[in-house]
Structure 1
Amino acid sequence: MTVRTQADVTDAGRADSQPRAQVWVGGEDFELRDFERPQLAEGESLVRLTTATVCGSDRHTVSGRRSGACPSVLGHEGVGIVEETRSDLPVGTRVVFAVTSVCGGCRNCERGLSAKCTSVAKVGHESAESAWPLSGTYASHIHLPAGVAMVPVPDHLPDAVAATAGCAVATVMAMLESAGELDGRRVFVNGIGMLGLTAVAAAKARGAEAVMAFDPSPTRARRALTAGADSLVGADETARDVDVALELSGSEVGVRACLDSLGIGGTVVLAGSVSPGPDIEISPERIVRGWHSITGVHNYEPHHLQEAVDFLATAGGTLPWEEILGGPISLADLPREFVEPSAGLRTVVEIGPR
């Protein structure tokens, strides 16, 4: 396949630009480094990034709460322009991309669980000294292997909003698939961060009869109402008789609250518990007699990324973006962001023009 570049379709002169990235080198320290432009293999692309958003998991990595490759180019929520490619996607296409690079041929990939590919590599999680140094979004460019799904972005969708598709919003789409049909059902959302707000709005968009929400922070809890929640669960209350409980806090108390909230035939979908925590006792008898289901979701499949873009382009407009998005900041200012975080759930990093 012929390598196509942005220089083939525009006079912008970007095809010869040298990639530059903020490299996390441990603790709260970053270094701005230049990288060689990668030689693309079949199916690969080089995307010139326009915007990234700062996910909470990167803050956990920098603070030491979460392990990560070091040195590395962090960041896994972003949007950009295909600048050079050996894929079928046209040069100049504005895209978001999945967080996982997968083989497509292992048992997990073949049964629709590519998020758990046996040879998975992850955007924003690989060493800057590995064979995939430009893996993160805190950079001018990101190198996308053939195993990373890309989805075009509608022109009307703002960069900062589109960037959230690649982690938060696509993960919620995977949760809702695991939850099953929501039309006419009662939904409880526990944990009102970026994912929780998305879950509230998406559940309403899918026809939920009532959406209840809880967060220990009154400010975050109130945001759920602006996203479409019908009611808030008080700190001294417990949601009851719900059909679907979506757990996004990762806390022991939150998981227990979701389990206790289920009515007959109810389903709990856990997505917040991504780090070790206390074990929780469950009653097998209650699960059996209540026809309950408990499932977990970690990352997502390519079709969930497409669903995320579709949601953001339509019902996602109801989300309180003026409260969600903090910043913007420049790529040069990124290190300070991890010391003095901006207000909002997602800090916008403006990297380059569309």
Structure 2
Amino acid sequence: MTLQRDAPISPVVRVQLEPAPTAMVWLQPGQKHEAIAVPSVLLAPGDALVEVELATICGSDVHTTLGHRAAPAPLVLGHEQVGRIVALGDGAVTSTGRQLTLGQRVVWSLTVGCGQCALCRRGLPQKCETVKKYGHERLEPGWELSGGFASHVQVRSGTAIVPVSEDLPATVLAPVSCGTATAAAALEAAEALSPLDGAVVLVFGAGLIGLTVSAMAADRGACVIVVDPAKRRRALAARFGAALVADPGAEPGHPDSLEAALDRSGDRPLVALDASGSPPAVASAIDSVGIGGVVVLVGSVSPSAPVSLDPESIVRRLVSIRGVHNYAPRHLEAAARFIETRSASYPFDELVGATVALADLDDGLEAAAGGRAVRIGVAPGLAPVLPCSRIAHDVPARED
């Protein structure tokens, strides 16, 4: 590895690795990813270059590659990952302001905030007026390593970086940057309006967010009901702290129905959280919550059919409805602490069903689209990636 400054007094550090870092570039639905090599990385003050140990495929990555959501191609997808720092810009620090060091194992936030705009000052850095998002940005000169489906990621200043344990498997740590932190944000939104200890918490969707919410809420003393159409996901939810599970397709009166689960719980839910994004689930969450309860919507991140509301029912029941999208640094920190202290109590290590090499990313996305596993892993170290020179030439030249 070569490190040098662009000029004797320049704060920018140029990093050149052998072999050169590689990234998988998505172009459009139906077309395979192509690889580029990035021979030189310029680290501004506060930046870090992280070698990816493992990335995991989020549902949003699948929706993008299938054309179900808009994306600014070409781009490097991936925003759930864990890795090690191999180079640092001047003054790079953790989310709590501690100096970062080479070799640290870290996770980092989905978003890059400026820290200065009105939204950042209000504690909403994920909605920063100039926000950048890992795995969501069009490929641009100077930030080619902008997503987790790469051998390295250039983590930019303004990102919350959290050191993590050496003792936990990468399969448990990689999802912290998205699903686990989002679950922490969703529960914080609920707890701001309703205590969880002793409350019935109704969760729609037994994906990564729903399962993590179930475990976190159970840890706080809640009676959790998880609703999911897949029998295997309901069985998994029972191992993530759910006291009861329900099939949304079961007819009223059937023992697997939501009505039966609510009857067995003994109380109306004080918290109903939708992690599925399904319009019928959103409607059911709003209808099911009890007096003074809160509905948290976290799964509706793609266009879907509208949901009808009965304003009078919401008003008379004193129901609050909150939306949660991404998270703030404190949620990432809380997610990392939860995983480090409580992951042994729940089968988080079983959520990654298979791991593919970075070069086989398209096979991993196909497996993820099948939905049997909660996550599919992508490991750059499993096999070398051969960059495609045509794509490398199509990317505008770096102005070094």
Q: TM over 0.5: same fold?
A: yes
- Tell me, yes or no, if the aligned pair for 1:134 and 1:143 is still in contact at 8 Å: yes
Aligned pair 1:141/2:180, yes or no? no
Per mean C-alpha deviation after superposition, the further-off stretch among 309-318 and 86-95 is 309-318
Aligned pair 1:50/2:53, yes or no? yes
Aligned residue for 2:23? 21
Aligned residue for 1:186? 200
User: What are the ranges of 5 or more consecutive residues in structure 1 without an aligned counterpart?
Assistant: 6-12
Question: Could you list the per-position Cα deviations for residues 73-122 of structure 1 after superposition, in whole angstroms to 9, with x for gaps in the alignment?
Answer: 11000011111112131111100000001111111100111111111010
Per mean C-alpha deviation after superposition, the further-off stretch among 231-240 and 182-191 is 231-240
Query: How far did 1:335 drift?
Result: 1.8
Aligned residue for 2:81? 78
Amino-acid identity (%)? 42
Please give the TM-score of this superposition, normalised by the length of structure 2. 0.82
In structure 1, what is the Cα distance between the partners aligned to 2:174 and 2:16?
21
Quick one: which amino acid aligns to residue 213 of structure 1?
V
Query: How far did 1:50 drift?
Result: 0.8
Aligned residue for 1:315? 342
- Tell me, yes or no, if the aligned pair for 1:4 and 1:85 is still in contact at 8 Å: no
- Tell me, yes or no, if the aligned pair for 2:286 and 2:295 is still in contact at 8 Å: yes
Per mean C-alpha deviation after superposition, the further-off stretch among 184-193 and 27-36 is 27-36
- Tell me, yes or no, if the aligned pair for 2:42 and 2:142 is still in contact at 8 Å: no
Query: How far did 1:37 drift?
Result: 2.7
Aligned residue for 1:213? 226
Aligned residue for 2:390? none
How many correspondences in the alignment? Answer: 343
Question: Could you list the per-position Cα deviations for residues 128-154 of structure 1 after superposition, in whole angstroms to 9, with x for gaps in the alignment?
Answer: 235422110111100011011110011
In structure 2, what is the Cα distance between the partners aligned to 1:147 and 1:352?
28
Secondary structure at the aligned position of 1:312 is classed as helix
Q: Over aligned residues, Cα RMSD in angstroms?
A: 2.0
Quick one: which amino acid aligns to residue 245 of structure 2?
L
In structure 1, what is the Cα distance between the partners aligned to 2:21 and 2:342?
35
Question: Could you list the per-position Cα deviations for residues 30-51 of structure 1 after superposition, in whole angstroms to 9, with x for gaps in the alignment?
Answer: 1121013311111111111111
Aligned pair 1:274/2:276, yes or no? no
Please give the TM-score of this superposition, normalised by the length of structure 1. 0.92
Aligned residue for 2:107? 96
Aligned pair 1:249/2:263, yes or no? no
- Tell me, yes or no, if the aligned pair for 1:4 and 1:91 is still in contact at 8 Å: no
Q: Give the 3 Å change call, closer, same or farther, for CA 340–287 of structure 1 in structure 2.
A: closer
Quick one: which amino acid aligns to residue 163 of structure 1?
A
- Tell me, yes or no, if the aligned pair for 2:270 and 2:293 is still in contact at 8 Å: yes
Query: How far did 1:17 drift?
Result: 4.0
In structure 2, what is the Cα distance between the partners aligned to 1:124 and 1:89?
23
Aligned pair 1:108/2:110, yes or no? no
Secondary structure at the aligned position of 2:123 is classed as coil
Q: Describe how 1:331-346 pairs up with structure 2 within 5 A.
A: 331-341=358-368, 343-346=372-375
Question: Could you list the per-position Cα deviations for residues 272-323 of structure 1 after superposition, in whole angstroms to 9, with x for gaps in the alignment?
Answer: 1112222222222222221111000000000100111111112233333354
Per mean C-alpha deviation after superposition, the further-off stretch among 181-190 and 129-138 is 129-138
- Tell me, yes or no, if the aligned pair for 1:201 and 1:316 is still in contact at 8 Å: no
Aligned residue for 1:163? 174
Question: Could you list the per-position Cα deviations for residues 33-73 of structure 1 after superposition, in whole angstroms to 9, with x for gaps in the alignment?
Answer: 10133111111111111111111110111111111121111
- Tell me, yes or no, if the aligned pair for 2:41 and 2:142 is still in contact at 8 Å: no
Aligned residue for 2:395? none
Query: How far did 1:244 drift?
Result: 0.4
User: What are the ranges of 5 or more consecutive residues in structure 2 without an aligned counterpart?
Assistant: 6-14, 93-98, 252-257, 383-400
Per mean C-alpha deviation after superposition, the further-off stretch among 133-142 and 330-339 is 330-339
- Tell me, yes or no, if the aligned pair for 2:16 and 2:41 is still in contact at 8 Å: no
Quick one: which amino acid aligns to residue 333 of structure 2?
Q
In structure 2, what is the Cα distance between the partners aligned to 1:17 and 1:306?
33
Q: Give the 3 Å change call, closer, same or farther, for CA 130–295 of structure 1 in structure 2.
A: farther
Q: Describe how 1:27-46 pairs up with structure 2 within 5 A.
A: 27=29, 28-46=31-49
- Tell me, yes or no, if the aligned pair for 1:15 and 1:83 is still in contact at 8 Å: no
Aligned pair 1:292/2:313, yes or no? no
- Tell me, yes or no, if the aligned pair for 2:171 and 2:349 is still in contact at 8 Å: no
Quick one: which amino acid aligns to residue 162 of structure 1?
L
Aligned residue for 1:8? none
In structure 2, what is the Cα distance between the partners aligned to 1:244 and 1:339?
35
Aligned residue for 2:218? 204
Secondary structure at the aligned position of 1:137 is classed as coil
Aligned pair 1:69/2:72, yes or no? yes
In structure 2, what is the Cα distance between the partners aligned to 1:322 and 1:178?
27
- Tell me, yes or no, if the aligned pair for 1:49 and 1:139 is still in contact at 8 Å: yes
In structure 2, what is the Cα distance between the partners aligned to 1:340 and 1:193?
15
